Amino acid sequence: MKITNYIYLAATALLFASCEIDNYDEPESFFTGNIVYNGEPIEVGAREVRFQLFQPGFGALAPLDMHLDLDGSFSGRFFDGDYKLKFINGQGPFKAYEVNEQQGDTIFISLRGNTEMDIEVLPYYMLSGETFSASSTAVDAAANYDQIITDADARAIEFARLYLNDTEQVSNNGDYHRVWSDMTVGSGNLSGSTALPDGYAKPYIFARIGVKIVGVEDMLFSPVQKLDL
C-alpha cells in the first residue's frame, strides 16, 4: 500500500515539474492599425476581410491570418521579427497598391515592440455624409458616395442596403443583422428606409449602410450608427 502512495506522490510532483526548454515566451508585440484611404478607415463586414502575414526564415511557411474588424481596424500579437504582409486577391472592397513591379503589393514590415501602422489601399468607392434617423416604425438613412477607381478597373454598384441589428455588430452576413432592405442608388447618393423588426422592444437600434460592388464579394460599409428609439 505504501508503495502505491509514493507512486501517487511522485505522479503529482511530475504534474508540477516541467522542462525548461518547453517554455517559450509568449508573443509580446502588438501589431495594430487600420486599413485606410487617405487616412480614413474603410469599413467592412464582420469576419469577412483578412490579409496575411508571412514570416520567412523558420522552415514551414504558413500564413498568419489577420481579420479586419468592422471599422477597418486590425490587431494581432506577434513575436518580434520581419514579416511580409500580403492582401489576398479579391478580398475586400478595395485594391492594394502595387509597391513596385518586383515586390507586387507585398509590404515588408518589421515588428520591434508594439507597432501601429495604417495601410493605405485603393477602395472602389467611399461613403460620406451618412445621416440616420429613427421613428417608432422605421429607420431612414441617406449617404453620398464617391467612385474612387475610375479607370479600366472601375466597377458599378450592384445594390446598397440598410441593415439594422440590436447589437453594434452590423453586417450583411451571418447573424449580424435583424432586418434589411434595399436602398435607392442615385447618382452620387443613396437613400432608403428599413422597417424595424416585428415586436422590437429595445430602446435603441444600430444601423449601417452596406454597398455591394459588382464582382466584388465583400461589401463596403458606413460606420455603425446607434439610434435611440
Partner 1 sequence: MKKYIYFLIIPFLLGSCSSDSEFLDREPSNILTQNQAFGSPDIVLSVLADLYNRYYDFGTVEDWSSLAQFNVAFWSEAGRYGYFQNGGYGYGDWGTWDYGYIREMNLFLERLELSEALDPADKARFAAEGRFLRASYYFTMVKRMGGVPLILESETYDFSGDATYLQHPRETEAALYDFVISEADAILADLPSDVNTKSRASKGAVLAMKARAALYAGSIARYGASTPQVSLPGGEVGIPVSRAEEYYTTALSAAQSIINGEVGNYSLYEKKPNLSENFASIFYDKSNNPEAIFVEDYKLQSGKVHGFTIANQPRFGAEEEEGGRINPALSLVQSFETLDGEYAPLPIEDASGNPIYYDTPEGVFANRDARLMGTVIVPGSSFKGREVDIFAGIQLADGTIISGDSRGQQKEVMGTDMKVVGFDGPIDGLEFTAQTGFYIRKYQDPKAGSGQRGTQSDVWFIRYRYAEVLLNAAEAAFELNQPAVAAGYLNQVRRRAGITTDLAAADITFDRIAHERFVEFAFEGLHFFDLKRWRIAHEVLDGTPMDAATITDNIGDATKRLTQPFGLWPYKYYNPGDANDGTYIYKIVKPNRVTSADRFQFGNYYSEIGAGILNNNPLIVRNPNQ
Which positions touch partner 1 (CB under 8 A)?
Answer: 59-63, 88-91, 172-175, 215, 217
Report in angstroms how near the CB of residue 52 gets to partner 1 at its nearest. 10
Report in angstroms how near the CB of residue 177 gets to partner 1 at its nearest. 9
Report in angstroms how near the CB of residue 175 gets to partner 1 at its nearest. 6
Spell out the residues 6+ positions from residue 23 whose beta carbon is closer than 8 angstroms to its own: none
CB 148 within 8 A of CB 38: no
Report in angstroms how near the CB of residue 182 gets to partner 1 at its nearest. 11
41 vs 45, which CB is nearer to partner 1? 45
3-state SS assignment for residue 22? helix
129 vs 174, which CB is nearer to partner 1? 174
User: For residue 212, which of 98, 103, 124 has the smallest C-alpha distance?
Assistant: 124
3-state SS assignment for residue 213? strand
114 vs 173, which CB is nearer to partner 1? 173
C-alpha cell of 181? Answer: 432592405
User: For residue 28, which of 83, 81, 80, 67 has the smallest C-alpha distance?
Assistant: 80
Report in angstroms how near the CB of residue 91 gets to partner 1 at its nearest. 7
172 vs 222, which CB is nearer to partner 1? 172
34 vs 172, which CB is nearer to partner 1? 172
What gap in Å lies between CA 41 and CA 82, rounded to an integer? 25
User: For residue 148, which of 130, 122, 170, 172 has the smallest C-alpha distance?
Assistant: 122
115 vs 155, which CB is nearer to partner 1? 155
Q: Which residues of 8-45 are buried (b: 16+ CB within 10 A; e: fewer)?
A: eeeeeeeeeeeeeeeeeeeeeeebebbbbbeeebbbbb
Report in angstroms how near the CB of residue 203 gets to partner 1 at its nearest. 25
